[in-house]
Amino acid sequence: MAAGAAAPGLFFTFAAMVLLIFASVSAPTWNSISFLNADSIHFGVFGYTGSSTNVGYYFPGNLGDSRINGTLFHNFTEVLILVPIAAGLSGIALLFGLCGFAYHRAGTVFMTLVSALAFLTTLVVWVIEMVLFGVARSHMRSRGIDANWGNANWLVLGALVSLFFAFFASACGIFGSYRRRTY
């Protein structure tokens, strides 16, 4: 083992990547993962139960109203693309971390930088999706529709916490001992 110092950061970036991948394949691809459930329609990153897979969507039928079908909230549904982007950044941080683990301190330095970027991306998308689906939920409920939070909100929140730890763990890992492998 070249550098155990990189290991904790690796663990947390890996966990964040897995959580963000699960959130990315939400409805309509995988119906049991969603941000909001209303009248058996599940809303995910790229659409909702029965819709095609798109970046950005409108709330269908009587679930939408002029406010949540308006430009602002439609733009928010497009911003959900940041979930798979954050998953990709976590994956890149993981690859740098593996280099740090196996070869060189520089890998851990890049893991720290990229996990910070992944953290900020996840923070932005988590705040926006909570606003988007929170407002949509209360608008639906005020019209008597049974709308409930889905599990993907907590997957993204878990990834956010994990990336927070990943950043500090890899930043500390930079100062661990890195010995070159001798054969």
Q: Give me the residues that bind ligand NAG (CB under 6 A), please.
A: 58-61, 64-66, 69
Report in angstroms how near the CB of residue 144 gets to ligand NAG at its nearest: 15
Report in angstroms how near the CB of residue 134 gets to ligand NAG at its nearest: 18
65/128 with CB nearer ligand NAG: 65
Peptide bond before residue 28 is cis, with ω within 30 degrees of 0: yes
C-beta separation of 55 from 81 below 8 A: yes
89/136 with CB nearer ligand NAG: 136
Report in angstroms how near the CB of residue 26 gets to ligand NAG at its nearest: 19
Which residues have CB under 8 Å from 181's CB, separation 6+?
Answer: 2
> CA–CA separation, 30 vs 98, rounded Å?
30
**Which residues, listed in sequence order, are joined to residue 38 by a DSSP beta bridge?**
41, 147
4/70 with CB nearer ligand NAG: 70
Report in angstroms how near the CB of residue 46 gets to ligand NAG at its nearest: 15
H or E, element range at 87: helix 82-102
60/88 with CB nearer ligand NAG: 60
